[in-house]
Amino acid sequence: MRSWILLIILLTVFIVTSMFYIPNDTQKHVMEFVQWRENYDLTEGIIESDAHNAYIEIYLNDKAKEAYIEVKRDFPVGSEVFKPLYSDREAKHFARLVIMVKMQKGYDPDHGDWWYGVYDESGRVMGYEGRIPECISCHEMAKETDYMFSRSVMKKLKGIDTNEFEEYLLDDGEVY
């Protein structure tokens, strides 16, 4: 009887210990973006976003900056785009931080290999992440600019009145 109890105790210790030392592939990897505000501030203020039904700013890391400004058809792997969303034009009421990261080829080839995230203002607490269907379906219309609404944003920053949805439904072929 004692040998059975000893065996059960040893098995329990082994199982509990292995839970801490053997990687668990079912756990999601959650990225953190605590320094998102240190990136290039494209908008230098608040602009209205038709797509998000909010007021936004846009921050770009160095890899995304040139591609976004020049409205390129392809963004380099590692590009990061941060959009803090506010419910008011004065940016007093933070709603959420939406993020796009260009992943390695093969991550999601049907949708440009973009990863999407929705975080709190700290960039640490994730609400949603990965292949978010709502993000994918909206960005699908901007496929010709690597799923970025960069053309309409660059027009807005130059004072040209435009709407993200109309801009990409009526592709005029102009470069901005």
Q: Are strands 126-130 and 114-119 parallel, antiparallel or unpaired?
A: antiparallel
pTM: 0.78
H or E stretch at 12 = helix 2-21
Higher per-residue confidence, 169 vs 89:
89
In the chain, % of residues over pLDDT 90: 66
Mean pLDDT of the chain: 85
Structure confidence by residue, pLDDT tens digits, 9-26: 655 555 555 444 444 444
Q: Could you tell me the fold of the domain covering 36-169? A: Chalcone isomerase (3.50.70)
Would you state the structure tokens that stand for residue 81, as one six-digit string?
């785009």
3-state DSSP of 146-176: CCCCHHHHHHHHCCCCCCHHHHHHCCCCCCC
Domain definitions of the chain by residue range? 36-169
Which among 153, 163, 167 is positioned nearest to 69, based on CA atoms? 153
Look at residue 105 and tell me whether its pLDDT is greater than 50. yes
Cα-based torsion angle of the residue sequence 50, 51, 53, 59 in order, rounded to the nearest 10 degrees:
-90
